[in-house]
Structure 1
Amino acid sequence: MDNRISTKFFSYLRAHKAQTFVALLIISGVGYYGYQKFTAKEVLPQYITAPVERGTLIVSVSGTGQVASSNQIDVKPKASGTVVRVAVQTGKEVAADSVLIELDDSDALKTVRDASVNLESAKLSLDKLKQSADTLSILQSENALVSAKDNLEKLKLSQTTDYEKAQESKQKALDNITKAYEDAFNEISNSFLDLPTIMTKLDDILHGQEIGKADKSIGSGYINTSTLINTLSNTTDDRTKIQPFINYAENDYSAARSAYNVNLLSYQTASRFSERSVTEVLLTETIETTKRVTEAAKSQTTLFDTWTDLRTLRNATDYQQVASKVAEYRANLTTYNGQVNGHLSNLLAVQRTLQDNKDAVVSADRDLKAMDQNNPLDLSAAEQAVKEKEVSLLKLKAGADSLDIQTQELAIRQRENALADARQKLADYTVRAPLAGVVAKLNVKLGDPASSSTAVATLIAKQKIAEVSLNEVDVAKVQVGQKATLTFDAVQGLTITGDVVEIETIGTVSQGVVSYNVKIGFDTQDERIKPGMSVSAAIITDVRQDVLMVTGSAVKSQNGQGSYVEMLKDGTPERRSVEVGLSNDSVTEVSGDIREGEEVVTQTITSESSNTTTQQRSGGSLFPVGGFRVGGGR
């Protein structure tokens, strides 16, 4: 039976060869993957490092061109100014670096003097810093500390005193406000002792019949204002003249009566135990009422004065009893007006006292709030001043520390650099011949303005000149006088140094690319070099000496958070922040928490990158080959 099963199985496999082959491939693949999955070892990343080195960093730009067939050079100044001296004549032969033109350098000379003074000041400060503190300086520092401590104690005392005074002022104002409300109700009450009588008398003066009763020829039945009209001459316009004054008196009395009625009701419903707001409203109403009453009394007085004046103008002698009654009313009105004005003055005084004390409370609250905010800050500042004086005294006794000295030495180097820059700018005001030759043309005379775009002279050089083309980015870094290295395709192994003697002002556009011609004068002459030969130039644009450098690939940045390098610690990269300075195609200047000789990571090799190459430097002379280290995460 087993033989029959085996025979059938192999017969099936022969009949389905293709399917069998595919199945075997799948089974083999799955098996191999599983074997690899369970037996594979973790591959750690590998790191290539290079040491941090100290040396000279050179940055240059390169260009190609030809040896010029013409040795004509336009000489342009590096600075701008007025020509104050022309040292050559047309056709005169000049040596290299001889003076051609001098410009007004007064401003640049002042800058040099200032930079020199600043440098001397920095040196004196360093000398003073290195000297031990003398007895007088220590005594002055001790006195400053004592003064700061005294000021702190005075501040504490004054803050306490001022705060208590502000609280007392507030409490006094609150007490005065309480008294002012009491005084206000008293004055209101005093006013209402007289106001009812006065209002009645004012009404009687206008609407009573006492004036008519005073003269038997008139008799009763006429109110006083009507009697006044009737006792004036009927043949003149006196009755018309007096009518407006009667109207004024009536209107003012009516206004006073309305205010009085409202005010009286408020007074009757209030008491000295009412809310302060009620008393304050009542005070305002009473002041308004007394003003209305005084105005009403004034209008009635004016009415009687007008009546008397009209009769006087007519020399009237009749109605003497009426005139006597008018005079009596006139005298009474003077009395009423004096009484009401007295009450009004007292009421306004109380109102003013009340407002002044309210303002005093607001001012006191404002002062207290300011003290709550500022006193702790002022106290903290005074305490900090004491601490600073204590530290200053300790530092003075201990002498300058190394960090202070290093800081001052750095300041001196900065001042020295500033002086060197100022002297260089001063030298730019003297235009010199970039190379030996003959002055073909002078383009300026005394008093003419000159600038970097002005060709002040044209030279026919005795030495060969190379013309190379630079793009607009590189030419911006080039200046007249910079050194250059020249090589030639036609003469293998020949290298000649030279100086930049002219930079084209206006570029040439070709297929959207702007280029500028730069002329370089040869330092040495070689008969093998002919006009028209191809030349390659490397112009040195910047040099930094004695700086720390790393290969360019070692410097990294992330999300604009500054630059850093990586150093291996126990096989794992660790970031170290650095400041980046000058750089060229192969290396970068760095500073910060980094030292010469430390190894920095320049390349990381992971398991995904099976083929990698180490980074090489052009020239191969600045750094030795970096070390190769293997590390991984812990």
Structure 2
Amino acid sequence: MKKIISAIWKHKVRFIIVLLVVAGGGYFVKQKFFPVPVAVRYVESTVERGVLSTVVSGSGQVSASNQIDLKPKAAGDIIYVGAIIGQEVKAGTLLLSINAGDAIKAVHDAQDSLETAKLNLDKLKAPPDELTLLQSQNSLAAAKESLASYKDNLAKSYEDAFNTVATVFSDFPNILGDFSNVLLNADFENHVANVDWYFNHGLSVDFSNEVKMRDYHDNTVSSYQAARAAYDASVGDYQAASRTSATATIESLIDETYETAKKISDAVKIAGSFIDSAKDSMIQSGNYLTLPATIATHQSLMSSYASKINSHLSSLLSARNSIESAKNNIVSISRSIAEKTISYANILAGPDALDLRSSELTVTQRQTALSDAQAKLADYSVRASFNGVIAAFTAKKGDTVSMGSTVGTLITKSRQAIIAFNEIDVAKVAVGQKATLAFDAIDGLTITGEVVEVDTLGTVSQGVVSYNVKVLFDVQDERVKPGMTVSVNVILSSKPNILLVPNSAVKSEAGGRYVQQLDALGNPIHISVQIGDSNDTMTEIISGLNEGDKIVTQTISAAVTTSATASGGVPAGGFTGGGGAALGGTFRALR
């Protein structure tokens, strides 16, 4: 024995190799000629009707569906605070007020201005009252009466003017006759005309004034001749006219008579100055103890005629002005009558369309101004823009705030989930799709929601593109807080009341799909089916099966040993790849 052990130990490597070969060969022979019996078992399920849903899943954070910072649009001292943190508020609730004295005054001024514009418009639209109509009628009638009066005045002015001309022409012959006698008679020296006598005696003392005296002499003669010629020309026109002559004839006669009177007045003035100058020269000479009395007579006549002619000139000018005034009055009152006639017609017709439109525009402008003032006044108040909860608030009464500074935060009670999807899944998501939401922090809570927004621009992070999707909760649960983690399944499609089988039951073969059913002996047979949509777990059956049919969903094989079997006929060795119970199926075994 020792020799045998020693030999084995000496050749242990060879011995081990031989032993392994012998054992392997024995195992091969056993498996080849003496196989272990294999038991095959099948897991069955029942074809049922249900809802087939296709979903994409994602996770994200809970947030308020709406959140805004509370910012005043005006600057000033806070005079009222009506919000505290955690307070629920309704849309429009006053949260804060700022001193707005100037803005309030601007609103009051705009209201007064608008009221004035409305009153003016109402007054314009109102029908004319009896007093207004009567006043307009009386004003028009008075103007027409004035026109008649002015026409009478004009006629009288023409008659008075002709009378004035007649008076003037009645004096002209006497004036010109006496004027001629003063100049041409020889009252001082035989055969020497008075005008020459005055010239000669004006030179007797101072021959140096010959030029002056010569000018006086010549001007006196020439002016008298011009006056005489004007008279001779105008007297014929006067004699041809009468009170009934045309107004233009009378006006022309007045002008002609006035010019004639001016020439006679000029001639008388020049002659009087000539006589006065000659007399002065004679007095200065001292050659005359007594001057001829005729000189004084001539001076008196010239002075009298000058006064009379000037009076005629004034009367003629007055007559001319009276006619012009009467004519101007007629023109003016005629225009007034036209205006009053149109005004009366407009009163009867109602307000002018342009005036009415202008007043309406004024009212509109004043309304806009009031709206602007009210909007500016509203800037001095901070109000809740929606129903929500005050999440933060820092303002206190008496603080001074600047325009646009943040004094608090308002959030809605409604919640939403913001989920990031990859570029493949987001292409399947659309606004309006329903979703289910579950929360890591709240066991057993599932809430439904709806997709309300899908980002159009993605966000790239470390080379991965993601798109945010907002899902609005259908119901609110007080336990759900902003910031919580949420898992979301967005339902892409849903088919209700269709035949469904587990995906594992459907198999493929050439030409189509099939499922397996067990015959009476427990052997599987193939049943051809037509399938529709499917998701990760279930497949729609269009034809080939009926509700309640049994089908094979899993095949399980296990080796039979000589040991005792477990209760229920399942070998103690168990199943490889078990889990039939988890599928809700039943076992059938074949030996």
- Give the shorter-chain TM-score range: 0.3 to 0.5
Considering fraction of residues, name the structure with more strand.
Answer: 2
- Could you tell me the TM-score, scaled by structure 2's length? 0.42
